[in-house]
Structure 1
């Protein structure tokens, strides 16, 4: 029996506090990480010709997921939702995954081709490789395998994250019923009232 790869997940910013505590969001990332761990191990140990994207060079990967609700003006560091490591020594791949995610966010597309076709888009200190994926507004980046393998694992993580949040949101809706605002007290954030505070007359 093949031993499972170690999975570690952490949340840097939780935009879904209206329905998920930080521990619950970590649990979701851990669950998604275990799915990627199964894929990584399967592709790393596959017999010759059996891995659809070729055998994975190593049984370890680092993943970074960006917050799809982050303001476009937010710094890259602030835009990080969380990260996942799979396997031993996977922590070393997180800066590369972060660089891919940041480039994707800045460029609006995967950084994988820029070094070949558009090096003018890259500056000093830029990472020379992709790939990252954006699925339904979720940007996820992976690092440690070949570019195609990284792209595949990142795309699956992004898709499954979107599906996981949607499922939990549906549970939230059934639990609380009809509301106007995604907040515990069904009240808007102060900034929305501030946006129209200048308007004369009675306040809502």
Structure 2
């Protein structure tokens, strides 16, 4: 649909421009925040796996499943950890908690469990950890929802402010100018009562000067 009014054209330009700018800024900001959170989670699983591989070394070497189970039960309480499994040197599962599969793109960390004793330093097993990214995904979605509500509120308030300013600065003086032009067609020499130090003010000032010159010319005749 073709927009004919000046206010309509003004809004048709302002609203898309605001939305594009807001979406671009918020999208870039949330993208950076998400990747920062993802990097933090990656560092967390790396640190946790490294520390637990040391703590679990002795019970894994001794194949002490009771102690191993108690240690794993404390680790699985981590809010992002959804699965943990310990394997012996032959790849057989010694103990496992949680799930090692998920529909989301989870973080997996597999690390060797090494133990040092009188026989020397040797690999006694492996530790597998799986962390879910669902928390940071949900947090990002929640922030985007709030960002959308904020954008709507800003857009509505911005439209009201822009329309008010546009009416006051542009539409009102132009309406007076058009009314004066219509009166001039009827034979009257109307001047426009408007003063402003901008382009519209200059236009109206020039119009008033022209009307004055025409009135003087007609009087001389």
TM-score (norm 1): 0.31
Where is the helix percentage greater, Structure 1 or Structure 2?
Answer: 2
TM-score normalised to structure 2 length:
0.29
- Structure showing greater radius of gyration is 2
